[in-house]
């Protein structure tokens, strides 16, 4: 993988309106929803009676049960009341369809949001993008056979796009797959412009103009996907300015979800398309916050959430961690600086460095040494999590497993 930050954060205006409870229910559910604490909200709902359909639908979205979410939200849409709650529900469904590459449904829910809340100017960019993407067939798996491929030392994998061989990285923190302009030209893919739309780079916070291509076939081993959307980035922009010509693509979240399962080893072998290992899928330790993968962990004896991002070369602590564990930061923290780099450029930020933090996730202990606490940035939403979990920690594991069917995350 490129040793940079290359995530694109989807600019749904829903991220701003999800912070307000409009159901009039108990304070516990309200607080957990406002904090986007999906694991604790799931458990609280299981202990409760007469839970409003909105909360049940929100949890169903987080744990990728889209059918149940649609059923729960139907009652929200049909109820007469504050339109903000219905808009929130449409926003959650838009994210759920987006991460599976179903852009027509994404567009439909964004349009519904816009009708309910026409004053939300941030929606216009998203509607413009998905209006164009909705004209193409949705992402689909034509074949999903158990496959094993050997990765390079920097986690790039061999594949084929429309029958032409390539080596791409994979970034679980990216909303879309991405290729360089040179790679799009090599593949002879027509480049489409979405000039009215923009995405926010999750590292630098800068806006990135959108162009895209649609590849008819993407093949990795015995897994064949159809109608894969790639954003097209300038050749002189990050990350491609630092990558060789034969590594000019990165697979984003919709493709990884379509693989079904992913498991890679410290020896450089990636397996995809396997059956789920877990027979008990009632209590998953992985979920989605919008289009971000969230895994549950433990610090000391308390539950924490980590944003799983294979596109980041480094792991960080967030302001949420600093707020909930102030004694750790106050006792050992020292001011330092860090440079965050992504497709929108780079930015230097002031951080607080702590000598060492140990926490558990996926059944293993992880050690951040040193641990850097990022400052708050209103342009990105990383503070919904305690930890931004990158490849410096994941790369030390003997095995990393992501099961998008049972939503199981494990480390060995």
Confidence of residue 20 (pLDDT cuts 50, 70, 90): very low
pLDDT at 280: 58
Output the pLDDT for position 96: 97
DSSP string, 90-154: HHHHHHHHHTTT-HHHHHHHHHHHHHH-TT-TTHHHHHHHHHHHTTSPPPEEEEE--EEEEPPTT
Mean confidence (pLDDT) of the chain:
87
Nearest to 398 by CA among 406, 410, 386: 410
Write the burial class of residue 224 (CB in 10 Å: 0-12 exposed, 13-18 middle, 19+ buried).
middle
Between strands 399-403 and 345-354, the pairing is unpaired
**pLDDT (tens digit, 9 = 90+) per residue, 38-82?**
999 999 999 988 899 999 999 999 999 999 999 999 999 998 677
What's the whole-number mean pLDDT along residues 349-353? 88
Query: How big, in percent rounded to 5, are the helix, strand and coil portions of the chain?
Result: 30, 35, 35
Q: pTM of the predicted model, to two decimals?
A: 0.90
- Mind listing the pLDDT tens digit for each residue in 236-252? 887 888 888 889 999 99
CA 363, chain centre distance (Å)? 21
Q: What is the pLDDT of residues 386-412, one digit of tens each?
A: 999 999 999 999 999 999 999 999 999
- Stronger pLDDT, 281 or 170, i.e. the higher one: 170
- Three-state secondary-structure class, residue 326: helix
Share of the chain above pLDDT 70, in %: 87
Q: For residue 16, what pLDDT is reported?
A: 39
Does residue 281 have a pLDDT over 80? Answer: no
Q: How far apart are CA 204 and CA 373, in angstroms?
A: 16
- Tell me how far apart the alpha carbons of residues 287 and 43 are, in angstroms, rounded to a whole number: 13
Does an H or E element contain 75, and which? helix 66-78
Q: What is the pLDDT of residues 291-348, one digit of tens each?
A: 999 999 999 999 999 999 999 999 999 999 999 999 998 888 888 888 776 665 667 8
Q: Which domains does the chain have, with CATH numbers?
A: 8-133 (1.25.40), 140-272 (2.40.70.10), 286-411 (2.40.70.10)
Per-residue pLDDT at 30 exceeds 60: yes
Query: What pLDDT sits at residue 7?
Result: 33
């Amino acid at each position: 993988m490129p040793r940079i930050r290359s995530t694109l954060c989807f600019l749904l205006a829903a991220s701003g309106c999800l912070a307000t409870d409009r159901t009039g229910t108990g304070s516990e559910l309200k607080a957990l929803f406002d904090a986007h604490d999906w694991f604790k909200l799931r458990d609280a709902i299981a202990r409760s009676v007469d839970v409003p359909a909105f909360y049940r639908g929100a949890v169903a979205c987080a744990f990728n049960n889209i059918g149940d979410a649609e059923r729960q939200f139907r009652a929200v849409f049909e109820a007469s009341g504050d339109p903000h709650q219905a808009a929130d529900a449409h926003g959650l469904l838009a994210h759920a369809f987006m991460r599976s590459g179903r852009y027509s449904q994404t567009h439909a829910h964004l349009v519904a949001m816009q009708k309910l809340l026409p004053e939300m100017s941030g929606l216009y960019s998203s509607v413009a993008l998905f209006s164009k993407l909705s004209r193409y067939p949705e992402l689909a798996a034509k074949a999903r056979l158990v496959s094993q491929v050997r990765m390079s030392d920097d986690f790039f994998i061999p594949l084929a796009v429309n029958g032409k061989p390539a080596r791409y990285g994979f970034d679980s923190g990216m909303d879309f797959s991405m290729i360089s302009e040179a790679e799009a030209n090599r593949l002879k893919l027509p480049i489409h412009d979405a000039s009215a739309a923009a995405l926010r780079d999750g590292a630098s916070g800068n806006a990135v103009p959108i162009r895209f291509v649609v590849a008819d076939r993407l093949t990795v081993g015995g897994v064949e996907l159809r109608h894969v959307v790639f954003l097209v980035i300038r050749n002189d922009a990050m990350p491609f300015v630092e990558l060789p010509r034969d590594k000019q693509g990165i697979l984003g979240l919709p493709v990884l979800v379509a693989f079904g399962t992913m498991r890679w080893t410290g020896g450089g072998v990636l397996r995809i398309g396997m059956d789920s290992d877990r027979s008990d899928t009632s209590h998953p330790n992985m979920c989605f916050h919008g289009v971000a993968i969230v895994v549950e962990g433990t610090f000391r004896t308390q539950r924490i959430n980590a944003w799983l991002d294979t596109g980041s070369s480094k792991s960080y602590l967030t302001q949420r961690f600093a707020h909930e564990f102030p004694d750790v930061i106050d006792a050992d923290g020292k001011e330092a600086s860090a440079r965050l780099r992504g497709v929108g450029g780079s930015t230097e930020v002031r951080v607080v460095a702590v000598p060492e933090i140990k926490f558990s996730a996926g059944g293993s202990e992880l050690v951040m040494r040193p641990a850097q606490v990022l400052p708050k940035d209103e342009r990105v939403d990383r503070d919904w999590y305690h930890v931004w979990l990158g490849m410096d920690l994941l790369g030390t594991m003997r095995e990393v497993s992501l099961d998008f069917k049972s939503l199981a995350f494990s480390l060995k």
